């Protein structure tokens, strides 16, 4: 049994196209749409100018947008969000394969040729005095467009200017550090956590600043920035509020984890997501060079103090702490320290592992878990491959 309704009678843009959203899982609506049932789909007709707003509203209400298509009579036929493939596979295969997450997640709403112009609202230093390098928390306004996203996705930034060949710069990807509701929980912003890349020229020794990271770290509030995306389904958070979420991050790899942890533990987020009341376990391993480099330290420790049974926080501070062999404490040493406990957690099907940050950090983590799994007669490589197939092992390193 389907219901159908039209959202937003007045269209604020000159674009009069209408789109039909197929939505699942809405219990009731806030009155702007016809009542719907718990099971089955609802079809909602949305004017072009209200699409972003309506998507947010549906997500807030716990609904899932299964597909979006142009209403009859529209010129456009391009789907905005891909629908999940029909379940037509044989039973055995369907059973063996874990359901791929993210079928309803927004992707590529803004492409490089037609980026969204988002105003920088704030740009704040994250590294405290005495720390190494520059890392900034940068917030952009999304209220003028249709860009929606979920925790674990990234956006693209196209820096101003041209490259050595006189061509416009290519986009760079950045993990989103805010929840889908944004830092102000008003569905109007997106935030990034960006480290300025600097390195020495291999021959001349001259210091070179990365193009896009330098552009972003020096942005003045008020500047409009070309934004693309969102992209990425690798780092999505399981919807299960009882999940066990193990996060291993270095440096700006904290960005998606900040979004997860806010969603799980921040008061205003919990109010905004009544269907996601996290009761599982979140365990963050965070590797940084020095204490002043613990990005978002206060927020993390505040959440940990408030939810001590649900949130464990383990730092690896390489230049201040020593590993068991007297060397610098890197994240893999902390993983090795807790490897038996982690291995036992990992065997629970509700456990997801996320790795984000420096490229190459997986190697040390694998080594530690190989030893722990071997003690129970399990080959870690094979086990990790199965976890990956089951969408429980998530890596985004750069």
- The residues binding ligand FAD (CB under 6 A) are 154, 172-175, 193-195, 197, 199, 202, 210-214, 252, 255, 396, 398
Active site residue 396: yes
Active site residue 276: no
Active site residue 28: no
Our CB check for ligand FAD shows the closer of 259 and 272 to be 259
To ligand FAD, the closest distance from the beta carbon of 18 in angstroms equals: 34
To ligand FAD, the closest distance from the beta carbon of 154 in angstroms equals: 5
- The C-alpha atoms of residue 360 and residue 363 are separated, in whole angstroms, by 6
Our CB check for ligand FAD shows the closer of 120 and 173 to be 173
- The C-alpha atoms of residue 381 and residue 363 are separated, in whole angstroms, by 11
Output b/e per residue, 382-398; b: 16+ Cβ within 10 A.
ebbeebeeebbbbbbee
Active site residue 39: no
To ligand FAD, the closest distance from the beta carbon of 196 in angstroms equals: 7
To ligand FAD, the closest distance from the beta carbon of 323 in angstroms equals: 25
Task: State the catalytic residue, choosing from 154, 175, 178, 191.
Answer: 175
Task: State the catalytic residue, choosing from 21, 116, 149, 174.
Answer: 174
Our CB check for ligand FAD shows the closer of 261 and 368 to be 261
Q: Is the peptide bond before 284 cis (omega within 30 degrees of 0)?
A: no
Phi, psi of 373 (to 5 degrees): -65, -40
To ligand FAD, the closest distance from the beta carbon of 56 in angstroms equals: 23
CB-based contacts of 111, cutoff 8 Å, min separation 6: 228
Our CB check for ligand FAD shows the closer of 211 and 378 to be 211
In the block, which residue shows the tokens 């956590």? 193
Phi, psi of 314 (to 5 degrees): -130, 115
DSSP assignment of 219-265 equals PPTT-EEEEEEEE--TTPPPS-TT-EEEEEEEGGGHHHHHHHHHHHH
Active site residue 398: yes
Our CB check for ligand FAD shows the closer of 2 and 199 to be 199
- What residues are annotated to the active site? 174-175, 356, 396, 398
């Amino acid at each position: 049994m389907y219901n159908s309704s039209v959202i937003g009678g007045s269209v604020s843009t000159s674009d009069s196209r209408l789109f039909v959203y197929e939505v699942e899982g809405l219990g009731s609506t806030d009155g702007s749409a016809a009542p719907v049932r718990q099971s089955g789909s609802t079809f909602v007709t949305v004017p072009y100018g209200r699409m972003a707003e309506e998507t947010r509203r549906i997500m807030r209400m716990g609904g899932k947008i299964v597909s979006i298509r142009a209403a009859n009579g529209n010129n456009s036929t391009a789907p905005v969000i891909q629908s999940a493939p029909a379940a037509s596979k044989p039973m055995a295969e369907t059973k063996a394969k874990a359901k791929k997450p993210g079928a309803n997640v927004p992707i590529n709403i803004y492409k490089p040729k037609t980026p969204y112009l988002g105003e920088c609202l704030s740009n704040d230093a994250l590294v405290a005095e005495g720390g190494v390098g520059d890392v900034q928390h940068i917030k952009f306004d999304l209220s003028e467009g249709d860009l929606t996203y979920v925790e674990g996705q990234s956006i693209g930034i196209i820096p101003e200017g041209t490259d050595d060949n006189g061509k416009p710069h290519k986009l760079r990807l950045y993990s989103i550090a805010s929840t889908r509701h944004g830092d102000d929980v008003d569905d109007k912003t997106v935030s990034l956590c960006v480290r300025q890349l600097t390195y020495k020229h291999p021959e001349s020794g001259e210091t070179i600043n990365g193009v896009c990271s330098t552009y972003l770290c020096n942005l003045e509030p008020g500047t409009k920035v070309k934004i693309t995306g969102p992209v990425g389904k690798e780092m999505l958070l399981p919807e299960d509020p009882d999940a066990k979420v193990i996060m291993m991050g270095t440096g700006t790899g904290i960005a998606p984890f900040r979004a997860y942890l806010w969603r799980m533990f921040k008061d205003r987020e919990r109010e905004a997501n009544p269907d996601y009341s996290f009761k599982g376990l979140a365990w963050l391993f965070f590797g940084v060079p020095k204490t002043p480099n613990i990005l978002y330290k206060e927020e993390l420790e505040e959440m940990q103090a408030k939810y001590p049974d649900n949130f464990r926080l383990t730092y690896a501070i390489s230049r201040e702490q020593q590993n068991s062999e007297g060397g610098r404490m890197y994240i893999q040493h902390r993983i090795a320290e807790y490897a038996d406990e982690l291995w036992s957690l990992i065997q629970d099907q509700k456990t997801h592992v996320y790795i984000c940050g420096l490229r190459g950090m997986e190697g040390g983590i694998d080594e530690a878990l190989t030893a722990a799994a071997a003690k129970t007669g399990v080959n870690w490589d094979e086990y990790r491959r199965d976890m990956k197939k089951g969408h429980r092992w998530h890596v985004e390193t750069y």
